[in-house]
Amino acid sequence: MLFLVGGGVILFGARTRSAVLHTQVRGADTEQERLDLVVRLAALDKRFAAGEISQSDYAAERDRGKQRLRELTVARRQATPSGV
C-alpha cells in the first residue's frame, strides 16, 4: 500500500514539474512574440512616416498588430500570479 501511495506522489510530482516547465516555455515564447510585435509596429510606423505604405494599409496592419498585442498582454497577465 505504501509503495502505491509513494509511486503516485512521485508520478504526480513529475507531471506537475512538467506542466510548470511547459508553462514557463510557453510564457517565454509569448514574451518573445510580444517583443517582436512591438518592434514590428515601430517599423510599421517608420514605413508609414516615410510614405512607403498607404494610410489604409497602415491602419489595417496596425490594428491587427495592436489587437494581437492586447491578446498577448492579457494572456501574460492571466499567467502571472497576483502580486508579482
| Per-residue pLDDT tens over the stretch 21-74 | 444 545 678 899 999 999 999 999 999 999 999 999 999 999 999 999 999 989
More confident position, 83 or 80: 80
pLDDT for the residue numbered 82 = 62
C-alpha cell at 48: 508609414
pTM for this predicted structure? 0.61
**Selected residue with higher pLDDT from 6 and 46:** 46
* Dist CA 72 CA 51 (whole Å): 29
Residue 21: what pLDDT? Answer: 42
Domain map of the chain by residue range? Answer: 24-78
**Total length of the chain:** 84
Phi, psi at residue 33, to the nearest 5°? -65, -40
